[in-house]
């Protein structure tokens, strides 16, 4: 009997049902009474806050019981086919409850922020319907007790992501961005499916509990099977969590409303891949090659995206690349076997990145309003149009500075501890395997770049002279309280979040131990000696400070020109501005050949040539030819018929008499 039975954990399904009910209600309102904004706000925010309350209750129950095994609730038998039996079930354990709290908590704040941000949008009800649906699906993903149930949530959040990126679908490029996100994610999802097939073939189950219990006996550690499973799972993560080479959809996803970027494309959905690796930690621990791939891809992505972030002018694009980069860190964490550190960074990142995005949203909101007042067509997201905003929006500036210091890794903010935990683990792993030292080095460089581009963002946005325009300047004010309040709450969380997993206290690591204990046998001890550890910490902090200092030192906000008068970039800076031309590369070498193949081979060749000509028209011609031959017999001459009749009669007689 699980100690969680009979506690609040039994009601965890409510956390999914409440936002789903909110989706249904808001969806109905979107059709029937799209103007009823007050009702929509109450339902939209209320349902998610209620889910958060459920989450807190479940968390308290888990903390009180601290079960050694996950508590699975089975509702009905979902796919009973032959040997395959998948139950619709939810799983409450230390890992899912962490995600449950983060998702519902951050969602509540972002829903509240959205009330202010989306207030004047005609699609207000539709927006909240989608956002509620997203929360419901995200919780299915997090709470699912088996791979297929998780996959439902996995696909569901992808759907909501698509709907919300293309929320303003009247503009073609935004609709296209949604499509791009959806299609790129499909590539990764193939990996998820193949991994599920492999798991079922080799372990005979898809339940989390069963799979992970059988894995150490059923699969050879380090063998090809477990490596393939882990790599295919990671392929799914690469798509969902925007790692190289499938990261290209995330920057485009910024076409959606900014709170969506904060919730889906920074704090929750994109971290699903990290959650998946942490969930399946035993599979990854048993496959050191796959884990090395995870860490390597993560480190490369962290550095790669950080360099692009150096030269972007769109405030949201900077944050998008920053998100990709930070997700890379999380994969380094789970790749080196420090699953708790990866999850820790996921949590703190959810706080400070949501804060950064909401801050950017607040800035964009105000900029947009100012331009709206004067009817000027200017880019409200271009940092070259900002500058000096700290004087007009003090709370936004302050809270964003907190997040910036956190992401730059300045102690004692949350980001410092979580990033240091990951880099420290990579360094420790590097003692035995030099490959991980390279991972650590990439991470350190990326950390420096992170501090630099964040310093650049803050400097250009909030400091120096204001470049918005003389007519617009009087309209620059602080955002309403529904927008600043979530910022302040998130800033508070960013400040204290590090306490979750302080070095040597490691609350989160001990909290997650029941789920990662199995993997401990396969992963070497990642503890460092005291001196080295302190040295690394001081080094990490210094690197963050150096990045910020350098940004303040060499960047001159006074010299910035508005976008229309900005000089052409040259050399490497141009390459960075053009994002290494990866999109163009994909277009040239993947999309265009694929379109050519589809058009020339599949359409003109197979469809028009083979199926239409040989298949459809060919069979018709064959039937017509046979009919023509048959019609030759029908001469209309009775005599001929009689001859045939006679031949037939003789043949029948001959057959009968034989």
Partner 1 sequence: MLLGPSLAVSAILFSIGVMGVLLRRNAIVILMCIELMLNAVNLTFVALSQQLGLDGQVFVFFVMTVAAAEAAVGLAIIIALYRHRDTVNLQRINLLRG
Cα–Cα dist 350/99, whole Å: 10
Cα–Cα dist 597/581, whole Å: 23
Q: For partner 1, which is the closer residue by CB, 505 or 646?
A: 646
Binding-site member from 170, 630, 656, 657 for partner 1 (CB under 8 A): 630
Specify whether the CB–CB gap between 347 and 101 falls below 8 A: no
Read off the tokens for 486.
């979530």
Per-position DSSP letters for 270-290, written without gaps between them = GGHHHHHHHHTHHHHHH-HHH
Q: Which region, judged by CB under 8 A, interacts with partner 1, from 18-26, 235-243, 254-262, 631-639?
A: 631-639
> Residue 657 CB, nearest distance to partner 1 (Å)?
15
Round to the nearest angstrom and report the end-to-end CA distance of the chain.
82
Q: Is 424 helix (H, G, I), strand (E, B) or coil?
A: helix
Q: Taking CB under 8 A as the rule, which mask of x and - marks residues 571-610 in contact with partner 1?
A: ----------------------------------------
Q: Which region, judged by CB under 8 A, interacts with partner 1, from 235-243, 298-306, 353-361, 639-647?
A: 639-647
Q: For partner 1, which is the closer residue by CB, 375 or 632?
A: 632
Q: Which region, judged by CB under 8 A, interacts with partner 1, from 124-132, 176-184, 390-398, 635-643?
A: 635-643
Q: For partner 1, which is the closer residue by CB, 434 or 630?
A: 630
Q: For partner 1, which is the closer residue by CB, 527 or 646?
A: 646
643 is a site residue for partner 1 (CB under 8 A):
yes
With residue 496 as reference, give the H or E element that holds it. Answer: helix 481-496
658 is a site residue for partner 1 (CB under 8 A):
no
654 is a site residue for partner 1 (CB under 8 A):
no
- The residue behind tokens 């007689």 is 653
Measuring CA to CA, how many Å separate 315 from each of 447, 491, 619?
A: 19, 19, 61
Q: Taking CB under 8 A as the rule, which mask of x and - marks residues 237-266 in contact with partner 1?
A: ------------------------------
- Of 406, 261, 260, 244, nearest in space to 325 by CA: 244
Number of residues that bind partner 1 (CB under 8 A): 13
Binding-site member from 1, 32, 554, 638 for partner 1 (CB under 8 A): 638
Give the CB-side neighbour count of residue 408, counting CA atoms within 13 A: 26
Binding-site member from 471, 535, 635, 647 for partner 1 (CB under 8 A): 635
Binding-site member from 525, 634, 656, 658 for partner 1 (CB under 8 A): 634
623 is a site residue for partner 1 (CB under 8 A):
no
Q: For partner 1, which is the closer residue by CB, 617 or 635?
A: 635
> Residue 169 CB, nearest distance to partner 1 (Å)?
60
Binding-site member from 217, 636, 657, 658 for partner 1 (CB under 8 A): 636
Residue 216 class from Cβ within 10 Å (0-12 exposed, 13-18 middle, 19+ buried)?
middle
Q: For partner 1, which is the closer residue by CB, 432 or 630?
A: 630
Binding-site member from 529, 568, 570, 631 for partner 1 (CB under 8 A): 631
> Residue 637 CB, nearest distance to partner 1 (Å)?
6
Read off the tokens for 20.
């789903």
- Of 269, 178, 275, nearest in space to 512 by CA: 275
Q: For partner 1, which is the closer residue by CB, 632 or 658?
A: 632
Cα-based torsion angle of the residue sequence 254, 259, 265, 271 in order, rounded to the nearest 10 degrees: 170
Q: For partner 1, which is the closer residue by CB, 620 or 642?
A: 642
The three-state DSSP-derived secondary structure of 94-113 is HHHHHHHHHHHHHHHHHHHH
* Helix ranges restricted to H, 118-220: 124-143, 147-165, 172-203, 208-218
Cα–Cα dist 290/230, whole Å: 6
* Contacting positions for partner 1 (CB under 8 A): 630-639, 642-643, 646
């Amino acid at each position: 009997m699980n100690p969680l039975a009979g506690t609040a954990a039994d009601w965890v399904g409510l956390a999914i049902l409440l936002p789903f009910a909110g989706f249904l209600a808001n969806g109905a309102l979107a059709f029937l009474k799209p103007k009823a904004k007050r009702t929509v706000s109450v339902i939209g925010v209320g349902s998610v806050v209620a889910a958060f309350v459920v989450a807190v209750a479940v968390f308290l129950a888990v903390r009180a019981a601290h079960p050694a095994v996950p508590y699975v609730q089975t509702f009905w038998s979902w796919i009973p086919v032959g040997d395959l039996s998948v139950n619709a079930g939810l799983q409450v354990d230390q890992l899912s409850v962490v995600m449950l709290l983060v998702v519902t908590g951050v969602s509540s704040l972002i829903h509240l922020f959205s009330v202010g941000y989306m207030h004047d949008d005609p699609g207000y009800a539709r927006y909240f319907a989608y956002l509620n649906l997203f929360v419901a699906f995200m919780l299915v993903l997090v709470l699912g007790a088996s791979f297929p149930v998780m996959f439902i949530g996995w696909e569901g959040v992808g759907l909501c992501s698509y709907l919300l990126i293309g929320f303003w679908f009247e503009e073609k490029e935004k609709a296209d961005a949604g499509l791009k996100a959806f299609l790129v994610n499909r590539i990764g999802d193939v990996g998820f499916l193949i991994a599920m097939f492999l798991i079922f073939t080799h372990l005979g189950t898809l339940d989390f509990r069963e799979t992970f219990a059988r894995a150490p006996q059923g699969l050879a550690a380090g063998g090809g099977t477990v490596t393939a499973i882990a790599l295919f799972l990671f392929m799914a993560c690469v798509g969902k969590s925007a790692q190289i080479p499938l990261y290209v959809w995330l920057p485009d996803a910024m076409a959606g409303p900014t709170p969506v970027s904060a919730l889906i494309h920074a704090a929750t959905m994109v971290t699903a891949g990290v959650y998946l690796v942490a969930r399946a930690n035993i599979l990854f621990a048993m496959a050191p090659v796959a884990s090395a791939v995870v860490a390597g891809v993560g480190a490369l992505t962290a550095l790669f995206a950080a360099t692009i972030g150096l030269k972007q002018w769109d405030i949201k694009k900077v944050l998008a690349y920053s998100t990709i980069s930070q997700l890379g860190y999380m994969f380094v964490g789970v790749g080196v076997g420090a699953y708790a550190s990866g999850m820790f960074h996921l949590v703190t990142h959810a706080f400070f990145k949501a804060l950064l995005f909401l801050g950017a949203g607040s800035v964009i909101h105000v900029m947009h309003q100012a331009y709206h007042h004067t009817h000027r067509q200017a880019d409200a997201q271009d940092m070259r149009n900002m500058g000096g905003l700290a004087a007009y929006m003090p709370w936004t500036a302050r809270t964003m500075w907190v997040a910036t210091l956190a992401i730059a890794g300045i102690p004692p903010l949350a980001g410092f501890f979580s990033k240091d935990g990951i880099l420290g683990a990579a360094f420790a792993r590097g003692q035995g395997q030099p490959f991980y030292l390279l991972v650590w080095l990439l991470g350190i460089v990326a950390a420096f770049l992170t501090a630099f581009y964040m310093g650049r963002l803050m400097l250009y946005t909030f400091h120096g002279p204001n470049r918005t325009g003389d007519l617009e300047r009087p309209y620059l004010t602080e955002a309403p309280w529904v927008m600043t309040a979530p910022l302040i709450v998130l800033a508070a969380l960013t400040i204290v979040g590090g306490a979750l997993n302080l070095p040597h206290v490691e609350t989160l690591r001990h909290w997650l131990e029941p789920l990662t204990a199995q993997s401990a046998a396969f992963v070497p001890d990642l503890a460092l000696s005291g001196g080295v550890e302190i040295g690394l910490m001081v080094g990490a902090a210094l690197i963050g400070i150096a990045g910020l200092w350098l940004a303040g030192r060499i960047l001159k906000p006074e010299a910035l020109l508005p976008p229309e008068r900005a000089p052409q970039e040259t050399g490497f800076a141009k390459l960075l501005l053009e994002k290494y031309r990866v999109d163009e590369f994909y277009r040239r070498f993947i999309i265009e050949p694929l379109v050519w193949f589809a058009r020339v081979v599949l359409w003109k060749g197979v469809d028009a040539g083979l199926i239409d000509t040989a298949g459809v028209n060919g069979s018709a011609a064959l039937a017509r030819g046979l009919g023509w031959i048959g019609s030759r017999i029908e001469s209309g001459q009775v005599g001929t018929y009689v001859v045939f009749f006679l031949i037939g009669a003789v043949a029948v007689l001959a057959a009968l008499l034989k």
